[in-house]
Every structure is written in C-alpha cells, then in structure tokens.
Amino acid sequence: MQIFHSIAELRSYLRSQRQEGKTIGFVPTMGALHEGHLSLIEASKAQNDLTVCSIFVNPIQFNNPDDLSRYPRTLDADCAMLAPAGCDVVFAPSAEEMYGPAQTSDRSSLSSDGSNPSVAYAKPILKFDFGELERVMEGQFRPGHFNGVGIVVSKLFNIVQPDRTYFGQKDLQQVAVVRRMMIDLGFQIELHPCPTLREADGLAMSSRNRNLTAEERPLASHIFKGLTLAKSLLLSGTPPSEVKQEINLHFGKEPAFRLEYFEIVNAYTLQPIDSQAPEDQTALCIAAYLGKVRLIDNLVF
C-alpha cells in the first residue's frame, strides 16, 4: 500500500495507473476507521483495479471548533487496517496541502484546524448552496457543513479522478448532497452508497463512537431502538405527526440524550413526508447528543 501526502505525487502516480488502463475506486474518509469504512474498501475492490482511500479531517466542514478538536486522528492505526483490507493507495494531505498556505496579507482568510492552532491554511472563498437539500436536518443544525463537504469532495474528485466512489448510507443527507453536486458539476463518476454497518446492539458504526464513555456506550443503542419503533409505528398506519411525538417520548425516557431532530423524509429529496402512508424510500433520520458526542443514524425502507 502506498501512502501519499502530496497532491502532485498522488496525481502523477494515478496518471501512470490510468495509462495502464486501470480503473480507480475512491473511498473518501476522515479517518478513525472502523468496519463500516472497510466495507466501502471491500465494495471498491470488487469493482475496480485500484482502490484509493483519502484520510483528511476536513476543517471547513466543522461548524463547532470543539467537535473538530475532539475528532479522532489515528493515521497509523488507520493504515494498519487499510493495508490488510487490500487498499492500494492512501491519500493523507495536510490542511495546507489541500487548501494552500495561509495568506498573511489577508487575515480574514486564515483558519486554524482546531487540533493544532499553529496549522493554518487558506480558507476557500467558494460557496456551495444546496438549496432545500441543506435547509433541513444536518444543514439546519450544522450551518456551513455541506458547503465544506461539497468543496472537499469536489476537490478530492478532481485530484483522484476515480471511476467509482463509495459513501456510507449512514450519512444519508451527505449522499443526497453529493449526488446532486455530481449532477450539477457533471462529474463522470459512479456514486455507490453502501449500507450502514451496526454493532451487535444496533448502534451504527461511526468514528465518533470511540468518544463515548464506558457509561454512555450501552445507552447508545437507544437511537436504533427509536428508529425501529418509529418504523413499526409507521408501517402499522400511525400518522407521521404521532410517530414524532412517540419518538420524543422515547428520548424523554433517557435523560442522557438530547434529541436534536427526528425527521420522516423522502430519502432523495429529504423533504418531510406528512401523509399517513409511508412512501417508497421513506427515511427516518435522527441526530442526538449523548453526553458530548453527537450521533446520527437513519433507516430507509
């Protein structure tokens, strides 16, 4: 497995691979890898000659500096998981490499990456607006988040120029936003959303799970229990407004949680479903804080 930190060196290597006729699968990540990420690597390996995984904690998609500084950074452990999984290339750039060096003449463009205030980079001035796809859920509670995702993902697509890309369905809204961005910008890349992997108690695998304390971890399955309760209520004909009340009660019973949102939406448009009968591709989406850790999950049916 080859590890690159430089965009120019990665581009040059991938150019030579493309010239040999190899197809490229791409798995973008922020590291702190788990089995869910490895399932994306596996999906890519099954369909491509070469699999590239990027590991970059993208500072511009965090709207909360504490969340950014708490985000686990575990490059060595990540590489130790990727190599036996058969990943061919890791791309792990610095913020400065991705966004260019900070311009001291323009203080407003300076940013620190939170974990290390001495690391500065030039904050992009381009802005993505994903319209109604980002006025709800994550976009509503994390202003600017999808702008940061859009910028980094489009930049990574331009650098890697993959044939196919693999995203976890756990970030359902991210998948919808990236799908739309790929249409609007004409990326000729196949998007493959992959199923959420879960722990034995139903907790969706996430890099953030490792920040849960030993007391919090057993409580975390409350989220998946809430989603399965909501699904069975909807399928038995309970109106969406009543299902939402039931979910509020469900979280009310567990004071360690602070429910941020529970929404019943169409998985593609992300707009609320108000009618009694669930539509095809109904998505139940939750975000909740358990202590200091913000967890998201969804069920699509």
Active site residues: 37
Give yes or no for residue 29 binding ligand PAF (CB under 6 A).
yes
Determine the straight-line distance between the first and last CA of the chain, rounded to whole angstroms.
Answer: 38
Give yes or no for residue 52 binding ligand PAF (CB under 6 A).
no
Say if residues 270 and 140 touch (Cβ distance below 8 Å). Answer: no
Q: Which of 14, 52, 68, 149 binds ligand PAF (CB under 6 A)?
A: 149
Structure tokens at 112: 């620190």
Q: Provide the 8-state DSSP code for 12.
A: H
Return the H-helix or E-strand segment holding 219. helix 216-219
Q: Which of 39, 48, 58, 173 binds ligand PAF (CB under 6 A)?
A: 58
- Give min distance, CB of 39 to ligand PAF, in A: 14
Give yes or no for residue 287 binding ligand PAF (CB under 6 A).
no
Q: Which is nearer to ligand PAF, 208 or 217 (CB)?
A: 208
> Which of 52, 58, 13, 18 has the alpha carbon at shortest distance from 155?
58
> Which of 123, 193, 111, 172 has the alpha carbon at shortest distance from 151?
123
Q: Which is nearer to ligand PAF, 58 or 209 (CB)?
A: 58
CB contact set of 139 (below 8 Å; sequence gap of 6+): 130, 133, 145, 146, 173
Q: Strand 2-4 to strand 282-290: parallel, antiparallel, or no bridges (unpaired)?
A: unpaired
Give yes or no for residue 152 binding ligand PAF (CB under 6 A).
yes
Give yes or no for residue 28 binding ligand PAF (CB under 6 A).
yes
- Give min distance, CB of 240 to ligand PAF, in A: 28
Q: Which of 10, 30, 95, 299 binds ligand PAF (CB under 6 A)?
A: 30
Q: How far apart are CA 277 and CA 192, in angstroms?
A: 28
Q: How far apart are CA 238 and CA 9, in angstroms?
A: 56
- Mark the segment that binds ligand PAF (CB under 6 A) among 7-15, 25-33, 74-82, 104-112: 25-33
- Give min distance, CB of 111 to ligand PAF, in A: 15
> Binding residues for ligand PAF, per CB under 6 A?
28-30, 58, 61, 149, 152-153, 171, 174
